[in-house]
């Protein structure tokens, strides 16, 4: 009996291997076919220059895949638009790192290098970005991360740039905004002490708040990844301290708990979130009336009516079963355009070695101004950190409205 | 006044731990294995309930029944496919398999329901009771969770002491070989245990997500581990122990967050646990079994 089973299994494996061979064989010519006409179409415009190879590492599966898939979706739109224009062509490839900063990020990066990547448009999450930023310094590959916001990422090397705010900068601008809008408010802070994003914002926020002498009554209501299942104590602390504003610098996943619990106990301060709060209205089953009056800082508003945003949102919805893009998608889109503009200006194409492109891009980014979905007139400082105007919205009748 | 609100918060999360711990302790007590996938069955139960209410538009009680039915079948399937073939092998092999099942369930949930969080609508429609001008608020979820966990505890105790199947379970727990010699179908008894444990997990999932609305494929894992701690704390294998352990763990956790430090609350909770286990190694209500050599 066992022998028969073993034989069966072996037979299955052989069939599987054959099937594998078959599909790869049929795929190969298809690939060649689709590439050939492209090359022909390109030839007159660019003098047969090969396409520029841009790679992305990010979580395409796993718990953080929401972010990785959004970034990839945004980048794919930008690549398609650019390639349709003619001129410099982009070949884009995304590798999955499961937001695992240890080995998976580096192996995703290595497989992109094997593919011939010239510019890295990743990573999506801070942990993974830190793991591969050091590698890009050694390999002299230019890196522009859409969403890894820790200061340490940009400080790794001169070739590492960010499209998003650094965490402390975001915290500081939140404090400035509060000082401007609600100078006399009593403020409570709930944050995730096990998360670099959240602690980074809180650090920047508290030091700026002290500078502006804001009244921060609760600054130690922390939770960790292990005990975030119950945030009722932290909310009760803010309620007891009489806070009018509760600052929630963490992801929307936990924020819905805070809003729900506050509503149950009849506590209604102004809740104030950061860009990680973006997405809360799209959570399935979430009662958006709980988020009424919620203020959040987000560089991208999918309800904005300018042409660029409208066409981006439409295209993204068409590609992703009607899903509304979040700021990660917009960051991804802007990253590709920033790289494209810089490459065109510097004359980089698919034949430029990665190390040369890296040096040329650093020079370009130093003096470049970019208008994108996530801000107008964006510039970068010498460390690779972005400077753009912070924007805040307030949830009104279930949609974002710019904060007046 | 504030202390009572924290006490209620503690009992609220503690009774959720208690009901999860009851499932853990039941399976451990009878099958003598740690079912690390228990937390993930909770998650599946919560998702089923979510789907039934949100996609099929059925009332809350129907969704709980559906979740219990699906989880019972799932529990029997897991036991039959993953644990039964390993009966008689070292317990470490079963433990590793349980961890594997846990990962399998999480990843399967990610494929089916994606990793983006869903917001669970509470099954309780009761308005919260507000005392002393809103200084103390008791939510319907707290009352329901405490009620259900007491009911389940009493029910399980009666079941294991009075019914034939329950007695067979205790016999299997005491001495598997002897029970088999007495004509008890050990395999069926263990399957029944898993079925009951998984049905409890479904109820726990609905109550957990009614208290804490965020539903993700990893929702069950951390509360599962805490409930396991609670079960050990109360004395693993003891049904009232699981209940007591869960509620105490919730209260200690909330008080250390409120009065000592939110950042170190876990360290405090687990230090208390270590101290208690040093004094009473079998847990609060666990029986010290004399090993005869």
For residue A13, the model assigns a pLDDT of 55
**Tens digit of each residue's pLDDT (9 = 90 or more) over A126-160:** 888 988 998 899 999 999 999 888 888 888 889 99
| Same domain for A172 and A294 | yes
Task: Indicate whether A220 belongs to any domain.
Answer: yes
**Tens digit of each residue's pLDDT (9 = 90 or more) over A46-55:** 455 788 999 9
pLDDT above 70: residue B288: no
- How high is the ipTM of this complex? 0.75
**Contact call for A260 and B223, based on CB within 8 A:** no
pLDDT above 70: residue B134: no
Mean pLDDT of B263-267: 80
| Same domain for A135 and A197 | no
The residue from A298, A314, A334 where one domain ends is A298
Q: Which residues of A touch B261 (CB under 8 A)?
A: 220
How high does pLDDT run on average in chain A?
82
Task: Indicate whether A18 belongs to any domain.
Answer: no
**Contact call for B216 and A253, based on CB within 8 A:** yes
| Same domain for A154 and A173 | no
pLDDT band, residue B47 (cuts 50/70/90): very high
| Same domain for A173 and A154 | no
Q: Which of A265, A266, A278, A288 to mutate to test the interface with B (most CBs of B within 10 A)?
A: A265
For residue B131, the model assigns a pLDDT of 76
For residue A122, the model assigns a pLDDT of 80
Q: Which of A227, A255, A323 to mutate to test the interface with B (most CBs of B within 10 A)?
A: A227
| Same domain for A143 and A256 | no
For residue A41, the model assigns a pLDDT of 40
Measured between CA atoms, the residue of chain A closest to residue B125 is A264
**Contact call for B254 and A230, based on CB within 8 A:** yes
For residue B53, the model assigns a pLDDT of 87
| Same domain for A157 and A145 | yes
| Same domain for A275 and A209 | yes
pLDDT above 80: residue A35: no
**Look-up of token digits 């224009």:** A85
For residue A43, the model assigns a pLDDT of 39
Q: Is B135 on the interface with A (CB under 8 A)?
A: no
**Contact call for B212 and A229, based on CB within 8 A:** yes
pLDDT above 70: residue A26: no
Q: Which of B115, B137, B265 sits opposite A62 (nearest CB)?
A: B115
**Contact call for A63 and B134, based on CB within 8 A:** no
| Same domain for A173 and A160 | no
For residue B280, the model assigns a pLDDT of 83
Task: Indicate whether A33 belongs to any domain.
Answer: no
Q: Is A284 on the interface with B (CB under 8 A)?
A: yes
Point out the least confidently predicted range of A35-49, A68-82, A127-141. A35-49
Q: Is A203 on the interface with B (CB under 8 A)?
A: no
Q: Is A229 on the interface with B (CB under 8 A)?
A: yes
pLDDT band, residue B287 (cuts 50/70/90): confident
pLDDT above 90: residue B73: yes
**Contact call for A229 and B223, based on CB within 8 A:** yes
pLDDT band, residue B290 (cuts 50/70/90): low
Distance CA A93, CA A112 (A): 8
**Tens digit of each residue's pLDDT (9 = 90 or more) over A178-234:** 888 888 888 989 988 888 888 888 988 998 888 888 888 888 788 877 777 778 888
**Look-up of token digits 């970068």:** A380
| Same domain for A155 and A51 | yes
Q: Which residues of B touch A195 (CB under 8 A)?
A: none
For residue B167, the model assigns a pLDDT of 87
Task: Indicate whether A223 belongs to any domain.
Answer: yes
Helix, strand or coil for residue A246? strand
Task: Indicate whether A24 belongs to any domain.
Answer: no
pLDDT band, residue A23 (cuts 50/70/90): very low
| Domain around A178 | 168-298
Task: Indicate whether A241 belongs to any domain.
Answer: yes
Q: Is B9 on the interface with A (CB under 8 A)?
A: yes
Task: Indicate whether A101 belongs to any domain.
Answer: yes
| Same domain for A181 and A281 | yes
Task: Indicate whether A127 belongs to any domain.
Answer: yes
**Contact call for B119 and A62, based on CB within 8 A:** no
State the total domains in chain A: 2
Is the separation of the CB atoms in B23 and B155 below 8 Å?
no
| Same domain for A130 and A156 | yes
| DSSP string computed for A168-203 | HHHHHHHHHHHHHH-TT-EEEEEEETT-HHHHHHHH
| Same domain for A159 and A190 | no
CATH number, position A381: 3.40.50.2300
Q: Which of A220, A240, A265 sits opposite B262 (nearest CB)?
A: A220
Q: Which of B107-121, B126-140, B144-158 has the highest mean pLDDT?
A: B144-158
**Contact call for A266 and B134, based on CB within 8 A:** yes
Query: Which region, left, alpha or beta, applies to residue A397 given φ > 0 means left and ψ of -120 to 50 means alpha?
Result: left
pLDDT above 80: residue A331: yes
For residue A24, the model assigns a pLDDT of 40
Distance to chain A for B232, nearest Cα, Å:
18
For residue A117, the model assigns a pLDDT of 92
For residue A251, the model assigns a pLDDT of 82
Q: Which residues of A touch B216 (CB under 8 A)?
A: 63, 253
């Amino acid at each position: 009996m066992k022998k028969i089973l073993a034989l069966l299994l072996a037979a299955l494996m052989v069939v599987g291997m054959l099937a594998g061979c078959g599909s790869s064989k049929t795929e190969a010519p298809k690939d060649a076919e689709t590439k050939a006409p492209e090359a022909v179409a390109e030839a007159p415009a660019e003098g047969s220059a090969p396409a520029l190879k841009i790679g992305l590492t990010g979580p395409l599966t796993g718990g953080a895949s929401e972010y990785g898939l959004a970034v990839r979706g945004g980048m794919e739109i930008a690549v398609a638009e650019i390639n349709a224009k003619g001129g410099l062509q982009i070949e884009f490839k995304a590798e999955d790192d499961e937001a695992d900063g240890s080995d998976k990020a580096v192996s995703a990066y290595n497989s992109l290098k094997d593919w011939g990547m010239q510019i890295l448009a990743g990573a999506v999450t801070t942990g993974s970005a830190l793991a591969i930023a050091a590698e890009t310094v050694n390999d002299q590959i230019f890196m522009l991360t859409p969403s890894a916001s820790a200061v340490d990422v940009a400080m790794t090397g001169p070739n590492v740039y960010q499209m998003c705010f650094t965490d402390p900068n975001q915290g500081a601008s939140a404090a400035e905004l509060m000082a401007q809008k609600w100078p006399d408010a009593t403020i409570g802070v709930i944050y995730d002490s096990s998360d670099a994003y959240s602690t980074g914002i809180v650090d920047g926020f508290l030091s700026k708040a002290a500078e502006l002498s804001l009244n921060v009554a609760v600054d130690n209501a922390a939770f960790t990844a292990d005990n975030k299942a119950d945030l009722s104590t932290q909310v009760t602390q803010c309620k007891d301290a009489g806070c009018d504003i509760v600052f929630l610098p963490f992801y929307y996943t936990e924020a819905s708990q805070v809003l729900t619990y506050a509503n149950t106990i009849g506590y209604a301060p102004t809740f104030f979130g950061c860009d990680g709060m973006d997405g809360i209205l799209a959570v399935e089953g979430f009662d958006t009336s709980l988020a009424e009056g919620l203020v959040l800082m987000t560089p991208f508003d999918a309800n904005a009516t300018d042409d660029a945003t409208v066409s981006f949102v439409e295209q993204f919805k068409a590609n992703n079963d009607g899903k509304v893009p979040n700021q990660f998608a917009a960051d991804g889109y802007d990253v590709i355009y920033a790289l494209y503009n810089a490459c065109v200006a510097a004359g980089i194409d698919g034949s430029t070695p990665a190390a040369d492109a890296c040096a040329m891009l650093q020079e370009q980014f130093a003096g470049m101004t970019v208008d994108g979905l996530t801000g107008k007139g964006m510039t970068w400082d010498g460390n690779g950190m972005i400077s753009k105007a912070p924007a805040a919205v307030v949830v009104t009748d279930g949609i974002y409205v710019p904060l007046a | 006044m504030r202390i009572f609100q924290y006490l209620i918060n503690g009992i609220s999360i503690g009774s959720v731990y208690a009901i999860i711990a009851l499932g853990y302790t039941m399976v451990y007590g009878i099958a003598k294995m740690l079912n690390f996938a228990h937390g993930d069955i909770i998650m599946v139960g919560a998702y089923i309930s979510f789907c039934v209410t949100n996609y099929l538009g059925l009332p809350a009680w129907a969704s709980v029944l559906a979740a219990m039915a699906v989880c019972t079948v799932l529990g029997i399937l897991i036991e039959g496919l993953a644990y039964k073939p390993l009966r008689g092998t070292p317990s470490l092999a079963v433990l590793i398999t349980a961890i594997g099942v846990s990962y399998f369930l999480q990843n399967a949930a990610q494929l089916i329901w994606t990793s983006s969080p869903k917001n669970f609508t509470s099954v309780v429609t009761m308005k919260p009771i507000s005392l002393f001008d809103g200084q103390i608020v008791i939510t319907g979820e707290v009352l329901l969770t405490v009620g259900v966990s007491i009911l389940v505890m009493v029910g399980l105790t009666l079941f294991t002491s009075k019914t034939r199947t329950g007695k067979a379970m205790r016999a299997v727990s005491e001495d598997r070989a002897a029970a088999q010699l007495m004509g008890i179908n050990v395999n069926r008894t263990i399957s029944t245990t898993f079925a009951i444990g998984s049905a409890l997990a479904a109820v726990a999932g609905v109550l957990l997500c009614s208290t804490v609305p965020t539903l993700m494929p990893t929702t069950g894992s951390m509360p599962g581990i805490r409930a396991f701690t609670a079960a050990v704390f109360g004395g693993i294998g003891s049904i009232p122990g699981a209940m007591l352990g869960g509620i105490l763990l919730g209260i200690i956790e909330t008080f250390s967050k409120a009065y000592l430090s939110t950042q170190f609350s876990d360290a405090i909770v687990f230090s208390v646990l270590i101290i208690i286990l040093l004094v009473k190694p079998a847990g609060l209500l666990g029986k010290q079994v004399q090993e005869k050599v």
